[in-house]
């Protein structure tokens, strides 16, 4: 019989699971590991001298479970969906009341709510936990967003606070609320990640097609931008990727990569949930759609030929200091709007599901470890901590000033790109949202009139209370 020595067990030793297990082991905890391809469990121990001493591989699920201290903590790091359900169903019968199953992969928070309910009915406990930071984050310190019972988090926190990224001595992990709260926040994190990446790609498009810069020159610009307001991991890796040379051809690496973006679903989940909550997360929507359009490469080539006759104007973009400063300001302004949309979605979900999401804390645990880490998140935390009521970040004093100052640059960049035929779906969505959001008298009065004409859907009047229907002329 295996001795019960392991503090936690990890199931799934792919990119994330293996690195998270090594991170746990390096922090002095004993970690049992199990993987569909069993040899990987033993390799994880044997290929990592020193740290491997804290890794306990198992060649059967029974041995894996038997090696865990009670209450047993079993962390799953496998692809989202049915695989999670299948793995949980296989292990659950081997566990006892009070043991905890943790889904640490990306998950649709609706699945997490369903799983929480089903698992907790059996006397076991369930935690849905978002982990961000990719391979290196998992190995050296990710940002961790936890959902589940607060008392259950208490069982995990001694390990999670040690393995999480640290920002000025504070661990980037927090309990965010019950059942699906952690996975919802991770989903919005990824939605913001999509929007941020898309807007950077659009600026790259302007630099390439509007100014005619070479990737290495762009790399230097992004490196420079990374020293100021835009400073972030995503801007840093943009500079790194643009500077890279393909060893086979000697060309810039980005020039040999096919322009078809992959996606595993978290951006789409973010858009679906924003829509369900009635929040306009238009920059995230634009980013998800742009990846979809990008994947139809041959169709785009055909359309390009069909529309070759369209005359566009030279955008008038300039690669001089003033031109680049305008691009930088436009990106910074659009970024504020994208984050405001992500935060508005979380605020709406918090209300809808009575989660009481700690929005300032979420910004704080995103400052290190995760893909969208940046100094800008400090500004968001400050806005929520300031004591003023923040209905939407676009109404917070600091951001009103910054967006007011930067919107002119965003407007000019979007207008020039449109005239030049350079697609800027996320940047333009940010600007359109701002203009829509700041307009006291909109145009949906006409929409309401149309709905009432064709479907007697009724409308409200500006001059008196009540619900009205008008006898429109028959059409």
Ligand X SMILES: O=C(CO)[C@H](O)[C@H](O)COP(=O)(O)O
Which of the residues are catalytic?
Answer: 186, 193
**According to CB under 6 A, which residues from 289 to 328 bind ligand X?**
none
Q: Hey, which residues between 128 and 147 contact ligand X (CB under 6 A)?
A: 132, 134
Q: How far is 143 from 345, CA to CA, in rounded Å?
A: 20
CB of 261 to ligand X, least distance (A): 7
Gap between the Cα atoms of 359 and 386, Å rounded = 12
80 is in an annotated binding site: yes
* Residue 74 φ/ψ, nearest 5 degrees: -115, 115
By C-beta, is 9 or 425 nearer to ligand NDP?
Answer: 9
Question: Residue 67 binds which one of ligand X, ligand NDP, none, with CB within 5 to 8 A depending on kind?
Answer: none
∠ CA 160-166-167, rounded to 5°: 140
Residues of this chain that bind ligand NDP (CB under 6 A)? 12-17, 35-37, 40, 77-80, 83, 87, 105-106, 131-132, 134, 264
Instruction: Decide: 115 and 105 in contact? Cβ < 8 Å.
Output: no
Report if residue 350 touches ligand X, rule: CB under 6 A.
no
**Cβ proximity of 275 and 341 under 8 Å:** no
Distance separating the N- and C-terminal Cα atoms of the chain: 81
Site pattern 407..446 for ligand X (x: CB under 6 A) = ----------------------------------------
Q: Does 81 bind ligand X (CB under 6 A)?
A: no
Give Cβ neighbours of residue 166 (< 8 Å, ≥ 6 apart). 141, 172, 368
362 CB-side CA count, 13 A: 29
Report d(CA 298, CA 5) in Å as an integer. Answer: 56
Residue 236 CB, nearest distance to ligand X (Å)?
Answer: 15
Rounded least distance, CB 374 to ligand NDP, Å: 18
Q: Using the minimum distance from each CB to ligand NDP, give the nearer residue, 15 or 275.
A: 15
Q: How many other CB atoms are found less than 10 A from the CB of residue 322?
A: 8
Is 128 flagged in the annotation as binding? no
Which residue is closest to ligand NDP by CB? 14
Indicate the DSSP class of residue 377. Answer: H
**Using the rule CB under 6 A, is 152 a contact of ligand X?**
no
Residue 342 marked in a binding site: no
132 is in an annotated binding site: yes
Q: Is 133 annotated as a binding residue?
A: yes
Q: Which does 263 bind (CB under 5 to 8 A by kind): ligand X, ligand NDP, none?
A: ligand X
As given in the structure block, the two tokens for residue 439 are 């307009």
**Residue 446 tokens, joined:** 């006409």
Contact at 8 Å (CB) between 423 and 375? no
Q: Where are the alpha helices (DSSP H) in 10-108?
A: 15-26, 39-46, 61-66, 82-91
* Stretch 250-289 residues interacting with ligand X (CB under 6 A): 262-264, 266-267
**Count residues contacting ligand X (CB under 6 A)?**
11
- Residue list for the binding site for NADP(+): 12-17, 35-37, 78-80, 106
- Residue list for the binding site: 12-17, 35-37, 78-80, 106, 132-134, 189-190, 194, 264, 291, 451, 457
> Which residues contact ligand X by CB under 6 A?
106, 132, 134, 190, 193, 262-264, 266-267, 371
């Amino acid at each position: 019989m295996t001795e019960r020595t392991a503090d936690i067990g990890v199931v799934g030793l792919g990119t994330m699971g293996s690195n998270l297990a090594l991170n746990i082991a390096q922090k002095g905890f004993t970690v049992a590991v199990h993987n569909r391809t069993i040899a990987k469990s033993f390799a994880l121990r044997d290929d990592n001298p020193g740290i491997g001493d804290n890794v306990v591989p198992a060649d059967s699920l029974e041995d894996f479970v038997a090696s865990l201290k009670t209450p047993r903590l079993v962390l799953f790091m496998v692809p989202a969906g049915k695989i999670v359900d299948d793995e949980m169903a296989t292990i659950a019968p081997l566990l006892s009341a009070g043991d905890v199953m943790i889904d640490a992969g990306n998950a649709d928070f609706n699945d997490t709510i369903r799983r929480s309910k089903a698992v907790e009915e059996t006397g076991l406990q369930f935690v849905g936990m978002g982990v961000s930071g990719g391979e290196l984050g998992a190995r050296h310190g990710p940002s961790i967003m936890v959902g589940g019972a607060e008392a259950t988090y208490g069982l995990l926190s001694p390990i999670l606070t040690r393995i999480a990224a640290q920002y000025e001595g504070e661990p980037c992990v927090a309990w965010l609320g019950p059942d699906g709260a952690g996975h919802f926040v991770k989903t919005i994190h990824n939605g913001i990640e999509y929007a941020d990446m898309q807007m950077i790609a659009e600026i790259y498009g302007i630099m390439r097609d509007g100014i005619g810069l070479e990737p290495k020159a762009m790399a230097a610009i992004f490196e420079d931008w990374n020293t100021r307001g835009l400073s972030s991991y995503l801007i840093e890796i943009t500079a790194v990727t643009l500077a890279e040379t393909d060893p086979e051809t000697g060309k810039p690496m980005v020039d040999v990569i096919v322009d078809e973006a992959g996606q595993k679903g978290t951006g789409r989940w973010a858009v679906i949930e924003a829509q369900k909550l009635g929040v306009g997360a238009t920059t995230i929507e634009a980013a998800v759609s742009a990846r979809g359009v990008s994947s139809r490469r041959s169709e785009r080539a055909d359309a390009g030929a069909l529309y070759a006759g369209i005359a566009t104007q030279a955008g008038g973009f300039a690669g001089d200091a003033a031109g680049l400063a305008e691009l930088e300001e436009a990106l910074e302004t659009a970024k504020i709007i994208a984050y405001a949309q992500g935060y508005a979605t979380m605020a709406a979900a918090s209300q809808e599901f009575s989660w009481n999401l700690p929005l300032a804390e979420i910004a704080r645990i995103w400052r290190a470890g995760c893909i969208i880490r940046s100094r800008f998140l400090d500004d968001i935390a400050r806005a929520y901590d300031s004591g003023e009521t923040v209905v939407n970040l676009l109404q917070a004093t600091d951001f009103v000033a910054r967006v007011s100052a930067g919107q002119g640059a965003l407007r000019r960049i979007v207008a020039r790109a449109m005239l030049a035929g350079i697609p800027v779906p996320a940047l333009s969505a940010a600007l359109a949202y701002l203009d829509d959001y700041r307009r006291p008298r909109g145009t949906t009065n006409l929409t309401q009139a149309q709905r009432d004409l064709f479907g007697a859907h009724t409308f409200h009047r500006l001059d008196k209370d009540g619900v009205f229907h008008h006898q429109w002329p028959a059409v």
